[in-house]
């Protein structure tokens, strides 16, 4: 079952009906049943076993951690007077060690599975390259759908239980639902247990406004994905496969189209799933916030794939940046080299870790590691250069609130992001670099539109994607100031429905053929 | 409760509008007889007249010119073939005509891959879209829809309807802007009793040079894994005809001189079909094996791709094949009108010289 | 308490003196302090109050206002 198919729409419709028909206390169970059914249909039973293994290990570990913590609290309280400070400290230390062991073991188990499935091929290939061995690296390991996503989501939950930020859920099926919830499992968003779980488990009534907004959002998502992204897909694929045959400017246009395509693809999926959850009354974490309007790369990563950035921030960046050894290092450096270096270096170390990990998460190849490194480099560089930039901005009397400056920042960021993004998508690292080289060294001016856009074989397709990209841009512009939905609500009810039905026909007319040829979601391979 | 009611009403309204818009897009395509495939009223107007019916897919659609048959063998013939014709479509059309026409002969054009396809697969959905508006009664159309379109194929089916309907409006708009463009969609006269050339002036020179010929010779294989369900429909069609003493002919239309050489088992295909015909009391003629084909049909002008004939090619072929039918109806032996097999025929091919002979 | 608060405000002003820390309650959610500033802030707090702020405290609500930060610091001091 593909998400952009009639089957999926019928599945979702049936689920909504069932969800609001069953007694409210069973609603979350219907979500669980639907998620398991979905997973088996899209994947298979063996892959489901992987998910179950993660769920069982996370559940077991979290409940155990909670029990140790609660027991300790009870014991210390009950024997407040009886125990000496030394004895109390010993109990605390012992329990801390036990809890840490449980955490580490469970994390190793789950990340180990994730790495084995995702990176064994890459690892073997790299070892062969470095040591000249010829190990067999053509594994065909099973990669359960959404492996990276549900692993991150479940380990995030476990770590929060370890930190005592949230209480462990006692009901195994509820934990299983949190891990396997089908709108999230394929491509995210990666949710924190609180407050999302509360939404997931609680009872919901059908609210018409949510229903209407959710449906509108789903239709918008299908439009983005099926018509815009899938029409662009063959064009972009052509440019990436044949960049050496096209002029530099054509390749650059292809890269820009890729930026549009992947945004439409990924955010379209988010719209479909967020819209669906909204119909149920569940608020799904947002993953995008008009990312191409960002003014710096750091800001871009706070607006693109937000949930992944948050995960890395909470579980890798902060722990490293705020750890004792790092703070000590910062203190020493401040004493020696001054405040600037002392503050920036700990953050830099944390950033390097985050960005190499982010690169690796996105793909098992050196191109992706380079991509992550490039992003990190820009962010770290601008962090170090901030005082220098400030000085120059003051000298040149640049007024940061003027829209010209902000527009410049936005275009600059978009261009940078486009270049970086393209690097791992062409093929190997050398392919990516080759594409960059092509853009910067080939200055042939194309003679005609067909020379400029040789990958567009059909004027109609160009027209459609231009219109929809323009619509997307306009909606985003509007969203800076107002809620687009409120604007929509101003349109009379019947007219709204007519517009939605016309959009649906457009999706059927142009989206279905494009989807049949080009199918799957780009992020679904994670 | 209010939310529930409002939600249901909204969904119903939404679906109603989609339905209405879809019908608006589909209607001129399906009912107005202005689109190339829609011939339901035309055939109805010929009730009681048609005695020679051709039922094939696109090769047959582009090859048999009824007017020529009428002139040569004094029939009142009709070419009810269509592009991507599914077997369920053929039998639907046959059933529609069998009772209201005085049929004496039915020619079933069978191309190399026609018996291989799964009617329910998404790839062959387009054929159903073309058949439906050709079925006379509304109820039969609905039945056809429900028996041939499943949830999995509905998407392709629906998008096909929208695209064909949309193309119709586009062509209509284009013809308004540029009268000089030949707009055969509106020119019903261009269609002749079911036969329709792709375009008045379209053909391709399919002649190949020595290198291309030798590179491609005998490289393709014709699958003889005919699908059970397709054969069953064919058998049913034969039964219906035989009950009314109608002669049934299996026909393979001529393919381009170069194109037929790309296959390495044409004779195997012919044998299988011929055996099937014999078992079921039908005649089988592979018109690729017509004597004189290389002299009269040329790769230069007579096809617009390997399997589909151009207007000129159809004229030549219809004359040649009608002569064969004439002989057959007079009780003469037509075996010497044909080569015995492809091997024998290839000796006379203009490409044979490339084989170093 | 006041002592904690005033020392806190001193640290904060060194990082970014454009903000009125007495009244502001939306420091993180309102994107007034970014993640770099937070790192510097935490290092300074840890040094100033001689405590360890573990990653479990890294939640928006603990840093949104001077009030919240003081509470957090006091809780950590108590636990030790």
Label residue A332 by pLDDT band (50, 70, 90): confident
Pairing of strands B308-309, B303-305: antiparallel
pLDDT at A224 over 70: yes
Mean per-residue pLDDT, B217-245: 93
Distances in Å between the Cα of A71 and the Cα atoms of A63, A160, B295, C4 are 12, 18, 99, 33
- Cβ-Cβ contacts under 8 Å, A6 against chain B: 151-152, 154-155
The alpha carbon of residue A140 and the mean position of all alpha carbons in its chain are separated, in whole angstroms, by: 25
CATH fit for domain C2-79, picks 1.10.3210.10, 1.10.1200.10, 1.10.3720.10, 1.10.443.10: 1.10.1200.10
Interface membership of C17 toward A (CB under 8 Å): no
Interface membership of A350 toward C (CB under 8 Å): yes
- Cβ-Cβ contacts under 8 Å, B158 against chain A: 508, 512
CA distance A325 to A332: 11
Mean per-residue pLDDT, B20-42: 76
Label residue B179 by pLDDT band (50, 70, 90): low
Closest chain A residue to B163, measured at CA: A509
pLDDT of residue A35: 95
Q: What is the mean pLDDT of chain A?
A: 88
Label residue A363 by pLDDT band (50, 70, 90): confident
pLDDT in tens, A341-350: 777 888 889 9
pLDDT at B218 over 70: yes
pLDDT in tens, C45-68: 888 888 888 777 877 788 888 888
| SS3 assignment, position A228 | helix
| SS3 assignment, position A80 | coil
Return the higher-pLDDT residue of A157 and B156: A157
Stretches where chain C sits below pLDDT 70 are 1-2, 80
ipTM: 0.85
* CA of C2 vs chain A CAs: smallest distance (Å): 25
Mean per-residue pLDDT, A356-365: 90
Contact partners of A by the rule of 3+ C-beta pairs under 8 A?
B, C
Helix (H) or strand (E) holding A262: helix A248-280
Beta bridge partners of B52: B77, B105
Question: Considering A69, A245, A314, A362, which one is annotated as catalytic?
Answer: A362
Label residue B35 by pLDDT band (50, 70, 90): low
Mean per-residue pLDDT, A487-509: 91
Mean per-residue pLDDT, A225-254: 89
pLDDT in tens, A26-39: 999 999 999 999 99
Return the higher-pLDDT residue of B38 and A93: A93
Distances in Å between the Cα of A124 and the Cα atoms of A133, A250, C64 are 9, 37, 47
Pairing of strands B77-79, B52-55: parallel
Q: Are B155 and A6 a contacting pair at CB < 8 A?
A: yes
pLDDT of residue A218: 96
CA distance B268 to B224: 8
Label residue A212 by pLDDT band (50, 70, 90): very high
Return the higher-pLDDT residue of A325 and A192: A192
Least Cα distance to A184 among A15, A19, A357, A39 occurs for A39
Half-sphere exposure of A112 (CA within 13 A, CB side): 8
**B38: CB partners within 8 A, 6+ apart:** B29, B30, B31, B32, B133, B134
pLDDT at A481 over 60: yes
CA distance A378 to A244: 27
pLDDT of residue C58: 78
Mean per-residue pLDDT, A394-405: 80
Whose structure tokens read 């009397």? A397
A362 classed as catalytic: yes
Contact partners of B by the rule of 3+ C-beta pairs under 8 A?
A
CA distance B296 to A380: 78
pLDDT of residue B274: 94
Hey, where are the domains in chain C?
2-79
**Out of A315, A321, A324, whose CB is closest to C39?**
A321
pLDDT of residue A525: 56
Alpha-carbon torsion (B301, B302, B308, B314), positive or negative: positive
- Cβ-Cβ contacts under 8 Å, B165 against chain A: none
Return the higher-pLDDT residue of A334 and A231: A231
| SS3 assignment, position A188 | coil
Q: What is the mean pLDDT of chain B?
A: 88
Mean per-residue pLDDT, B132-137: 86
| SS3 assignment, position B284 | strand
**Out of B18, B151, B163, whose CB is closest to A501?**
B18
- Cβ-Cβ contacts under 8 Å, B6 against chain A: 208
Label residue B79 by pLDDT band (50, 70, 90): very high
Mean per-residue pLDDT, B56-68: 92
CA distance A232 to A257: 7
Beta strands in chain B (DSSP E): 52-55, 77-79, 105-109, 247-252, 283-286, 303-305, 308-309
* CA of B24 vs chain A CAs: smallest distance (Å): 12
Label residue B189 by pLDDT band (50, 70, 90): very low
pLDDT at B134 over 80: yes
Q: Which numeric CATH code is attached to B32-116+179-355?
A: 3.40.50.1110
Mutation target for A interface from B21, B129, B155: give the one with most A CBs within 10 A: B155
pLDDT in tens, A407-436: 889 999 999 999 999 888 888 888 888 888
pLDDT of residue B87: 94
Q: Quote the Cα angle for A204-A210-A212, to 5°.
A: 140
Interface membership of A202 toward C (CB under 8 Å): no
CA distance B347 to A143: 57
pLDDT of residue C1: 56
CA distance C61 to C29: 8
Hey, where are the domains in chain B?
32-116+179-355
Interface membership of B163 toward A (CB under 8 Å): yes
CA distance A387 to A240: 39
Mean per-residue pLDDT, B295-316: 92
Give me Rg for the CA atoms of chain A. Answer: 25
Least Cα distance to B263 among B131, B117, B138, B111 occurs for B111
Closest chain B residue to A211, measured at CA: B7
Interface membership of A340 toward C (CB under 8 Å): no
Mutation target for A interface from B5, B17, B152: give the one with most A CBs within 10 A: B17
DSSP A269-329: HHHHHHHHHHHHT--PPP-BS-GGG-SSHHHHHHHBSHHHHHHHIIIIIHHHHTSHHHHHH
């Amino acid at each position: 079952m593909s998400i952009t198919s009639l089957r999926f729409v019928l599945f979702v419709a049936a689920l909504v009906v069932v969800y609001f028909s069953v007694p409210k206390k069973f609603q979350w169970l219907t979500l669980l049943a639907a998620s398991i059914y979905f997973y088996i249909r899209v994947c298979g039973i063996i892959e489901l076993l992987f998910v179950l293994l993660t769920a069982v290990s996370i559940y077991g570990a979290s409940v155990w951690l909670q029990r140790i913590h609660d027991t300790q609290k009870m014991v210390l309280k009950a024997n407040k007077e009886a125990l000496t400070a030394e004895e109390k400290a010993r109990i605390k230390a012992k329990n801390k060690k036990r809890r840490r062991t449980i955490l580490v073991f469970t994390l190793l188990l789950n990340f180990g599975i994730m790495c084995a499935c995702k990176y064994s091929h890459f690892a073997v290939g790299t070892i062969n390259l470095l040591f000249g061995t010829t190990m067999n690296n053509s594994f065909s390991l099973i990669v359960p759908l959404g492996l990276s996503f549900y692993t991150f989501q479940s380990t995030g939950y476990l770590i929060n239980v370890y930190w005592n930020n949230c209480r462990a859920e006692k009901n195994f099926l509820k934990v299983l639902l949190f891990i396997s919830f089908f709108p999230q499992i394929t491509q995210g968003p990666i949710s924190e247990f609180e407050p999302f779980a509360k939404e997931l488990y609680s009872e919901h009534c059908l609210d018409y406004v949510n229903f209407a907004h959710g449906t509108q959002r789903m239709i918008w998502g299908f439009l983005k994905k099926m018509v815009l992204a899938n029409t662009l897909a063959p064009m972009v694929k052509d440019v990436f496969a044949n960049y050496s045959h096209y002029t530099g400017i054509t390749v650059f246009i292809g890269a820009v189209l890729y930026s549009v395509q992947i945004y439409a693809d990924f955010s379209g999926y988010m719209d479909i799933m967020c819209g669906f959850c909204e119909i149920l009354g569940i608020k799904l974490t947002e993953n995008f916030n008009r990312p191409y309007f960002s003014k710096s790369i750091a800001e871009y990563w706070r607006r693109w794939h937000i949930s992944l950035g948050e995960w890395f921030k909470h579980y890798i960046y902060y722990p490293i940046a705020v750890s004792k050894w790092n703070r000590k290092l910062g203190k020493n450096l401040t004493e020696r080299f001054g405040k600037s270096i002392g503050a920036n270096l700990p953050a830099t170390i944390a950033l390097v870790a985050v960005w190499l990990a982010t690169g690796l998460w996105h793909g098992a190849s050196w191109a992706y590691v380079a991509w992550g490194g490039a992003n990190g480099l820009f962010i770290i560089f601008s962090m170090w250069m901030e005082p220098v930039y400030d000085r120059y901005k003051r000298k040149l009397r640049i007024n940061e609130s003027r829209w010209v400056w902000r527009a410049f920042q936005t275009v600059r960021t978009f261009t940078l992001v486009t270049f970086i993004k393209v690097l791992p998508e062409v093929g190997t690292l050398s392919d990516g670099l080759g594409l960059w080289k092509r853009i910067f060294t080939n200055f042939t001016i194309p003679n005609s539109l067909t020379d400029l856009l040789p990958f567009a074989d059909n004027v109609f397709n160009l027209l459609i994607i231009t219109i929809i990209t323009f619509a997307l841009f306009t909606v985003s512009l509007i969203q800076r100031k107002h809620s687009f939905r409120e604007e929509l609500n101003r349109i009379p009810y019947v007219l709204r429905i007519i517009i939605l039905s016309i959009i649906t026909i457009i999706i059927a007319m142009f989206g279905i053929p494009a989807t049949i040829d080009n199918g799957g979601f780009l992020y679904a391979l994670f | 409760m209010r939310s529930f009611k409002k939600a249901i009403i909204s969904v119903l309204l939404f679906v109603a509008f989609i339905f209405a818009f879809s019908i608006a897009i589909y209607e001129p395509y399906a009912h107005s007889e202005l689109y190339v495939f829609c011939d339901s009223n035309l055939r109805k107007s010929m009730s009681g007249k048609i005695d020679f019916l051709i039922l094939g897919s696109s090769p047959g659609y582009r090859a048999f010119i009824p007017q020529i048959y009428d002139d040569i063998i004094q029939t009142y013939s009709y070419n009810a073939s269509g592009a991507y014709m599914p077997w369920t479509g053929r039998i639907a059309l046959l059933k529609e005509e069998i009772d209201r026409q005085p049929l004496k002969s039915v020619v079933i054009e069978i191309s190399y891959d026609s018996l291989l396809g799964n009617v329910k697969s998404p790839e062959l959905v387009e054929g159903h879209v073309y058949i439906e508006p050709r079925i006379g009664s509304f109820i039969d159309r609905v039945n056809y829809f429900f028996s041939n379109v499943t949830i999995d194929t509905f998407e392709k089916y629906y998008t096909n309807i929208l695209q064909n309907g949309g193309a119709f409006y586009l062509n209509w708009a284009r013809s308004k802007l540029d009268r000089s463009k030949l707009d055969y969609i509106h020119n019903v006269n261009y269609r002749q009793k079911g036969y329709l050339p792709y375009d008045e002036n379209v053909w391709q020179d399919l002649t190949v040079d020595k290198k291309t010929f030798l590179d491609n010779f005998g490289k393709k294989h014709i699958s003889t894994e005919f699908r059970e369900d397709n054969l069953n429909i064919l058998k049913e069609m034969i039964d219906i005809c035989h009950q009314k003493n109608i002669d049934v002919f299996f026909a393979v239309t001529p393919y381009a001189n170069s194109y037929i050489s790309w296959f390495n088992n044409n004779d195997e295909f012919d044998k299988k079909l011929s055996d099937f015909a014999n078992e079921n009391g039908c005649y089988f003629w592979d018109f690729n094996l017509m004597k004189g084909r290389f002299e009269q049909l040329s790769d230069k002008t007579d096809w617009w791709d390997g399997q589909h004939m151009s207007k000129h090619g159809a004229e030549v072929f219809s004359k040649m094949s009608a002569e064969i039918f004439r002989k057959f109806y007079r009780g003469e032996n037509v075996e010497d009108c044909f080569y015995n097999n492809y091997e024998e025929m290839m000796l006379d091919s203009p490409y044979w010289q490339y084989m170093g002979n | 308490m006041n002592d904690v608060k005033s020392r806190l405000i001193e640290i904060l002003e060194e990082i970014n003196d454009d903000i009125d820390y007495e009244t502001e309650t939306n420091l993180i959610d309102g994107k007034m302090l970014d993640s770099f500033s937070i790192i510097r802030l935490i290092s300074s707090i840890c040094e100033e109050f001689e405590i360890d702020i573990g990653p479990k405290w890294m939640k928006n609500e603990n840093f949104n206002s001077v009030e919240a930060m003081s509470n957090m610091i006091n809780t950590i001091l108590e636990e030790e």
